[in-house]
């Protein structure tokens, strides 16, 4: 049987070794004094990802507004582990900050399954309203019960279906496709109900798995698809918009306590500005990605085709209700529809 204490110790040692390496960040290579507080931040995406650019924005602004007292050291590309490992590292006190998809967070706090309701948000404005409003903030507060602190939500984007076989217009076109999903029960159930053969895999391993043919299909935002160069191994995108996926920005519960009240206020203000900055970049990145992928066939579903996918997803809504309670699901769905 696995000894958790040994595993935790090993993980701490590995993280310490990684953190001693050179980090990729806005401050890398600049001749400047070491900040009194160097916030160690990590994520699983590429350095070109808009979330990484959001962290770089924070690093620049924090250094400038605190006279160099506070800065960041950024580890991209899963250098410190996949999203689940990053969440665990924050819980263990090995990492100060990370942005991750909400789906793996549901393994630590089941209320976040509420954001896995398929076809929940019709557009970005609806998503922002719910995430930044009462419901989104209540869910952030609930993370304090599991050794995490939620700062807020950045944008990962609407998730789309991609594959290397053929165009997908309906659930019937998914028959027999081996599909990678995130490590989330709702996502696995969704694509099983839609007709695919889904299985979870860490994002950091996905490109190689697609390249080797372990999976035929995957799903995720178009800008992330482009950043990770999945277009080299996936040739078809179906614009399903099946789930709006935020980036959840997490910090260690102890982080703010390491700052003076003045620097705390500056940190929170910089984060608020970074949220707007990053969301703007994410929208532009989707447009840029589409414009630069002429080798990929992008299929827009007709309303009738979209309705087929929505109908197949109905059992997942009931699964989410069983996980988090019908009251929360009804509340989220009502807020998203208004």
pLDDT of res. 10: 39
pLDDT of res. 207: 97
Q: Taking residues 250-255, what's their average pLDDT? A: 97
pLDDT of res. 32: 61
For residue 180, the cross-strand partners are: 199
Residue 119: Cβ-neighbour burial (10 angstroms; 0-12, 13-18, 19+) = buried
Cα–Cα distance between 14 and 72 in angstroms, integer?
20
pTM score: 0.84
| Of the listed ranges 21-30, 165-174, 227-236, 319-328, the one predicted with least confidence | 21-30
pLDDT of res. 183: 85
DSSP code per residue over 280-325: HHHHHHHHHHHHT-TTSEEEEPPHHHHHHHHHHTHHHHHHHHHHH-
pLDDT of res. 204: 87
State what percent of residues in the chain have pLDDT above 90: 86
**Right CATH number for 4-337 from 3.40.190.170, 3.40.190.10, 1.10.3720.10, 2.170.190.11?**
3.40.190.170
DSSP 255: T
Query: Does the pLDDT of residue 4 top 70, yes or no?
Result: no
The mean pLDDT value of the chain amounts to 91
Q: How many CB atoms lie within 10 A of CB 123?
A: 11
Query: Does the pLDDT of residue 225 top 50, yes or no?
Result: yes
DSSP code per residue over 91-149: HHTS-SEEEEEHHHHTTT-GGGGGGG-TT--SSHHHHHHHHHSHHHHHHHHHGGGGT-E
80 near 19, Cβ under 8 Å?
yes
Query: Does the pLDDT of residue 2 top 50, yes or no?
Result: no
59 near 72, Cβ under 8 Å?
yes
| Better pLDDT: 5 or 142 | 142
Query: Does the pLDDT of residue 24 top 50, yes or no?
Result: no
| Of the listed ranges 7-21, 45-59, 123-137, 257-271, the one predicted with least confidence | 7-21
Confidence of residue 33 (pLDDT cuts 50, 70, 90): confident
Query: Does the pLDDT of residue 205 top 90, yes or no?
Result: yes
């Amino acid at each position: 049987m696995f000894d958790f204490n040994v595993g935790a110790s090993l993980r701490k040692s590995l993280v310490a070794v990684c953190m001693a390496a050179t980090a990729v960040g806005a401050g890398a290579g600049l001749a400047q004094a070491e900040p009194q507080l160097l916030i160690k931040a990590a994520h699983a995406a590429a350095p070109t990802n808009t979330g990484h650019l959001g962290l770089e924005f924070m690093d620049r602004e924090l250094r400038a507004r605190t006279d160099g007292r506070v800065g960041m050291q950024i580890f991209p590309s899963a250098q410190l582990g996949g999203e689940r490992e990053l969440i665990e590292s924050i819980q263990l006190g090995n990492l100060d900050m990370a942005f991750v998809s909400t789906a793996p967070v549901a393994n630590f706090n089941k209320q976040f399954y509420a954001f896995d309701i398929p076809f929940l948000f019709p557009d970005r404005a609806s998503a922002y309203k719910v995430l930044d409003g009462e419901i989104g903030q209540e869910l952030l507060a609930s993370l304090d019960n599991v050794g995490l602190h939620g700062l807020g939500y950045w944008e990962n984007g609407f998730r789309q279906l991609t594959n290397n076989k053929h165009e997908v217009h309906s659930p019937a076109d998914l028959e027999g496709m081996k599909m990678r999903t995130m490590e989330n029960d709702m996502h696995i159930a969704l694509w099983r109900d839609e007709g695919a053969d889904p299985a979870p895999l860490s994002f950091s391993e996905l490109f190689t798995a697609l390249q080797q043919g372990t999976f035929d299909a995957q799903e995720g935002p178009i800008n992330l698809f482009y950043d990770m160069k999945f277009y080299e191994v996936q040739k078809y995108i179906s614009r399903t918009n099946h789930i709006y996926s935020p980036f959840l920005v997490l910090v260690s519960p102890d982080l703010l306590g390491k700052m003076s009240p003045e620097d705390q206020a500056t940190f929170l203000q910089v984060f608020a500005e970074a949220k707007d900055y990053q969301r703007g970049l994410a929208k532009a990145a989707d447009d840029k990605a589409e414009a630069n992928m002429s080798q990929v066939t992008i299929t827009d579903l007709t309303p009738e085709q979209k309705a087929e996918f929505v109908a197949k997803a109905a059992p997942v809504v009931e699964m989410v209700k069983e996980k988090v309670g019908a009251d929360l699901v009804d509340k989220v769905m009502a807020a998203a529809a208004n």
